[in-house]
Amino acid sequence: MELLHKLILESGTVLEEKVLRVDSFLNHGVDPNLMMEIGKEFAEYFANRGINKVITIESSGIAPAVMTAYHLGVPLLVFKKQTSRTLKDSLIQTTVHSFTKDVDYQLTVSRKYLTSQDNVLFIDDFLATGEAALGVVRVLEQVGAKMSGVGIVVEKTFQPGHEILKQHGYDVYSLARIQSLANNRVTFASDV
Ligand code: G4P
């Protein structure tokens, strides 16, 4: 996606050759025009798969996911990272380890909003190790819901997330694929 690639090159900064900071348009500041284009692109790619719900994990997945849900004409369900005091329903939970941030969290969703009838599309901002997506898979398995695709805004192809999800049989569609952040420079997979 041209606009996304342009913004990454213009405003992205590299942290220790492993992490791409995109705070100005995705993780802190959010560019609404970009989110609209992202949502349209995912909705076109994942059309005609019988998807009845888009899911994501708070917080940075929400903006691209809500626009995807809008363009698909289906609701969005946001998985929480901790049990809220106000969440009194019966819950489904699994522990996820974030390697990038070196913390564990409880991926949490209410049974009220996810059923065995659901056929979901998972949208997230970054794909690195794939731990978050595998946590989502474990939650879906607990209710018997189906996942018909994974849409990622920025994938780091030098980390194993995509390969692991592919091995599990999932179709992963990433809008920007970063092959390397070596020498503090962004190299897209298509550039090499
Ligand atoms: P995973 O996302 O593939 O499971 O990998 P990992 O466990 O390594 O990443 C955990 C968190 O770090 C996720 O955010 C993920 O989006 C973020 N992350 C991974 N690589 C990068 C990167 O290169 N740049 C940026 N900006 N973020 C990265 P999170 O904890 O869910 O945070 P948030 O959604 O609340 O922002």
Instruction: Give pLDDT tens digits for 37-74.
Output: 999 999 999 999 999 999 999 999 999 999 999 999 99
User: d(Cα 61, Cα 96) in Å, to the nearest integer?
Assistant: 16
- The alpha carbon of 136 and the centre of ligand 1 are apart by a number of angstroms equal to 14
What is the spatial distance between Cα 152 and Cα 162, in angstroms, rounded to a whole number?
A: 10
For residue 192, pLDDT beyond 60: no
Of 2, 4, 3, 14, the C-alpha closest to 183 is 14
Separation of alpha carbons 21 and 8, rounded Å: 9
pTM of this structure: 0.96
**Over 90: is that where the pLDDT of 118 sits?**
yes
C-alpha 86 – ligand 1 centre gap (Å): 26
Q: What is the pLDDT of residue 89?
A: 74
pLDDT value of residue 190? 78
Q: What pLDDT, on a 0 to 100 scale, did the predictor assign at position 106?
A: 96
For residue 124, give the ligand 1 atom closest to its CA. 16
> By the 8 A CB rule, do 153 and 125 touch?
yes
Contacts of 27 by beta carbon, 8 Å cutoff, 6+ apart? 21, 60, 125
103 lines ligand 1 (CB under 6 A): no
Q: Residue 62 CB: number of other CB atoms within 10 A?
A: 17
Of the pLDDT bands very low, low, confident and very high (cuts 50, 70, 90), residue 100 is confident
75 within ligand 1 shell (Cβ under 6 A): no
**Quick check: helix, strand or coil at residue 165?**
helix
* CB neighbour list of residue 138: distance below 8 Å, 6 or more residues apart: 94
Ligand 1 centroid – CA 160 distance (Å): 13
87 token code pair: 């969440």
From the CA of 12, how far away is ligand 1's center (Å)? 15
Lowest-confidence region among 46-50, 80-84, 158-162:
80-84
28 lines ligand 1 (CB under 6 A): no
The number of the ligand 1 atom at minimal distance from the alpha carbon of 27 is 36
Distance CA 145, CA 52 (A): 11
